[in-house]
Amino acid sequence: MAFYYEEPCHTFNEYLLMPGYSSAECIPNHVSLKTPLTKFKKGEEPAISLNVPLTSAIMQSVSNDTLAVALAKEGGVSFIYGSQTIEQEAAMVARVKAYKAGFVTSDSNIKPDQTLADILKLKEETGHSTVAVTDDGTGTGKLLGVVSSRDYRVSRMAVDTPVSSFMTPIEKVISAPKGATLSECNDIIWENKLNSLPVVDDDGKLCYFVFRKDYSEHKENTSELLDAQKRYMVGAGINTRDYAERIPALLEAGADVLCIDSSEGYSEWQKRTIAWVRQQYGDRVKIGAGNVIDGDGFRFLAEAGADFVKIGIGGGSICITRETKGIGRGQATAVIEVAKARDAYYKETGIYVPICSDGGIVYDHHITLALAMGADFVMLGRYFSRFDESPTNKVNINGQYMKEYWGEGSNRARNWQRYDLGGAKKLSFEEGVDSYVPYAGSLKDNVNTTLSKVRSTMCNCGALTIAELQEKAKLTLVSSTSILEGGAHDVLLKDSNNQVK
């Protein structure tokens, strides 16, 4: 006879945190969001920790190298999507590892025989006012000059004016040689009162730009997630089919951590994949697994050797697994049960296996709830897809800027490996949708706002660390009426123009 749970499962939106005593030390600036990413033994430190409890989802519309760099700057880690060729994924990983903080590869480049009209078009496309003039119009061509907004006046110049006639020629451009350190480049910028400094090699070819504005930003990024060589850290998604070929290529490219990307992790396929990794690399290679939604699934993957375990089936905003297959569980209930299993496993074995809440995050405070319920970190898809750094197009829909966002189980992604249960190598039916999400601007600004809310709520609960939050948190279920009471009600709201909505 089938087993029936007596209690219904719940989502994050059905819970609230109760405030606790806040001492004078409980201020947001004192809060540490550092959290383990990989398993560790009692009394030891994890091989990898996150400086903030955020990871980006293993999705085509979310995690590319651009977003990976931006998130690592803030202290989290991205998992590059695996639903691409091995070569393409490895190349993305390599670009993250090769990225030099403060050294920017030029994406605004032009030939000297092009015109002011081309400069204006390029500025509109990239948003950058500094343009490199190279012999072939690429960011690695021979540098012939530089154009900045000080070099032209749109109101006084014809749009067909050639770039060569108003650019700052190379003879007057102050540059730095390839190999100069970031500190040396910044010294040149300050000594010469420059806004930008091109870095060129011995053949005069452009390598990078260093910008004055990035100096202060770099100093502000105190939470950067760096490896032992001071490179940004990055993860990579794998599947349970071509792992023997994909994993060596990703490790060669520099991937710091791997994660099996699957809609359902309680399977022999994941056990075999982890076993292969342990046989080939021992514990040197860190690999997460999932997704699961109960204690049995967690213990299975923990005993199989997973370095962390992801929680969640059907809770993502673009996921329709619950509709199409009728499997899943409310995310809050799943996190609570898996956290109990994690703690029991730690008590029995002395091995702490971090857990990640993946899906079901709608509002910023849901992140704090997930952490309070026992998650060590969260994985976000829709959240990151809204930002400039995500790989999707920004489009105008009915006067509002939106970003494209699609699920790995949609016909657009056709990531059949993620939903693979053996058998035919194809996506038999959709488990995800193709959609739009409101454009939200830069990752840095939004992440800072989100984490400010998390820190503030933790102080309300009297906690200065995530572990302390999990120990002190008091949570209560709320009624549907309480949920309505928690938002604005019984008033007429104004819009940005002070008009009644």
Q: Each residue of 241-271: pLDDT tens digit?
A: 999 999 999 999 999 999 999 888 999 999 9
pLDDT band at 421 (very low <50, low <70, confident <90, very high): low
CA dihedral sign of residues 442, 445, 449, 454: positive
How much is the pLDDT for 107? 84
Q: 464-473: per-residue pLDDT in tens?
A: 999 999 999 9
Q: What is the dihedral of CA 399, 405, 406, 412, to 10 degrees?
A: 70
Task: Mark whether 356 is an active-site residue.
Answer: no
Position 409 scores a pLDDT of 64
**Closest of 145, 127, 126 to residue 135, by C-alpha:** 145
pLDDT, one tens digit per residue, over 339-353 is 999 999 999 999 999
319 is an active site residue: yes
On the question of pLDDT at 110 being above 70, the answer is yes
The pLDDT of 91-95, averaged and rounded, is 95
Check 342, 418, 455, 459 and give the catalytic one.
418
d(CA 227, CA 151): 41
Please give the residue that has the higher pLDDT: either 105 or 53. 53
Contacts of 146 (CB under 8 A, 6+ apart): 130, 131, 132, 133, 167, 168, 173, 196, 198
Statement: residue 416 has pLDDT above 50: no
Provide the pLDDT for residue 420: 53
Q: What is the mean pLDDT of the chain?
A: 90
Report residue 302 as tokens.
């923990």
- Residue stretches of the annotated binding site for NAD(+): 261-263, 312-314
Please determine, for residue 272, whether its predicted confidence score (pLDDT) is greater than 80.
yes
Q: Is residue 291 scored above 60 in pLDDT?
A: yes
Distance from C-alpha of 394 to C-alpha of 126, rounded to nearest angstrom: 12
The pLDDT assigned to 484 comes to 74
- Lowest mean pLDDT: which of 36-45, 80-89, 148-157? 148-157
Annotated binding site for K(+): 314, 316, 319
**Whole-number Å distance between alpha carbons of 81 and 381:** 11
Tally of CA atoms within 13 A in the half-sphere of 496 that contains its CB: 0
Q: Which residue(s) pair with 197 in the sheet?
A: 210
pLDDT-based confidence at 479, cuts 50/70/90? confident
Q: In the predicted model, is pLDDT for residue 319 greater than 80?
A: no
Mean pLDDT within 49-66: 96
pLDDT for residue 215 is more than 80: no
Catalytic residue among 319, 356, 459, 461: 319
Q: Is the pLDDT of residue 288 over 70?
A: yes
Among 198-212, 273-287, 400-414, where is mean pLDDT lowest? 400-414
